[in-house]
Amino acid sequence: MFKKKHFTFEDIPDLSGKVAIVTGANTGIGYITAKELARKNAHVFVASRTKERGESAVENIIKETGNNQVEYLHLDLVSLKNVKQAAENFLAKKLPLHILINNAGIMATPWSLTEDGIQDQFGVNHVGHFLFTKILLPRIEASTPSRIVNVSGGAYKWGPAAGIEFDKINQKDAQSTLQRYAVSKLANILFSHSLAKRFEDKEIYVNSLHPGVVRTELSRGVEETYGIIAKIVNKFTYLFKISAEDGALTQLYAATSPEIIEKNYRKKYFIPYGEIAETTALAQDDELAEKLWKYTEDLIDDKLRT
């Protein structure tokens, strides 16, 4: 399994003066991540789709940490127009941005399209975060040293042999729902790879990670797709999964540990709890990463024009 954890919440340094955005921070490891950043005095934005749940998360974090600098940012990753608006709403606050954790995601959902007609797992897990990050990049660059953390997962290995078959992304029956999930998780790593290369001469540290197999709401999509069998499997495997608290540790390591800067960690893929793991050749493929970058840019340009 994983090596004994060595990074803990206590290892998070004081974050006074730091501003962080955590997507999908209303629940699960995103919520724990936002809470622990706030506990160490960061100014934290809980970015999530549902206002009621997002504002409830903010209220609870303030209550638990005593840090009043926690705000809700409406971010709906199924809508590129909303993603653009969310990023612009943050920029309008004229704050720096030292930490961006792209944590939100969906897993193995039944076939569905986003508001923009993009296959939902690819659209939410990759395309929405790509646009959100890209709009925020000038602010992140102006706030160095800064960090971008993209939450991937070990499932990135489950995809097709080619890694990403671009012509099949929006074909309903071309891939299973788990393959579609795998493609989106590989895209998270490749995006990190391309982004890190573009800023290798800047103090912007871009990394990705696998948080572990965590007891969170992420498996709801699997149950919706596969029904009673998935529910039985989830109940059986529940005890073998790690808690949301443990699941948040690896992204907190990537987002806050002084080691990231001290050891110049870029383009790394971390596993619990802050260990570096070697990725597959596909996840390190420069050509595939650049093809994905251009494909995503063109897709976003096309969708925002219509």
Q: 186-195: per-residue pLDDT in tens?
A: 999 999 999 9
Q: Comparing 233 with 286, which gets the higher pLDDT?
A: 286
Write out the DSSP string of 59-107: HHHHHHH----EEEEE--TT-HHHHHHHHHHHHTTT----EEEE-----
What region does 28 belong to: left with phi over 0, alpha with psi -120 to 50, or beta? left
For 34-43, 87-96, 228-237, 281-290, which range has the lowest pLDDT when averaged over its residues?
Answer: 228-237
Q: How confident is the model at residue 182 (pLDDT cuts 50, 70, 90)?
A: very high
Write out the DSSP string of 112-138: -B-TTS-BHHHIIIIIHHHHHHHHHHH
Break the chain into its structural domains and give their ranges: 15-305
Active site residue: 134, 185, 267, 303, which one?
185
Q: Comparing 199 with 3, which gets the higher pLDDT?
A: 199
Identify whether 72 is a catalytic site residue.
no
Q: What percent of the chain has pLDDT over 90?
A: 88
Active site residue: 181, 253, 265, 273, which one?
181
Rounded Cα–Cα distance for residues 278 and 163 (Å) = 16
pLDDT tens per residue across span 139-179: 999 999 999 999 999 999 999 999 999 999 999 999 999 99
Identify whether 18 is a catalytic site residue.
no
- This prediction's pTM: 0.91
Residue 4 has pLDDT above 70, yes or no: no
Domain 15-305 maps to which CATH number in 1.20.1580.10, 3.40.50.300, 3.90.79.10, 3.40.50.720?
3.40.50.720
Average pLDDT over residues 247-251: 98
Q: What percent of the chain has pLDDT over 70?
A: 90
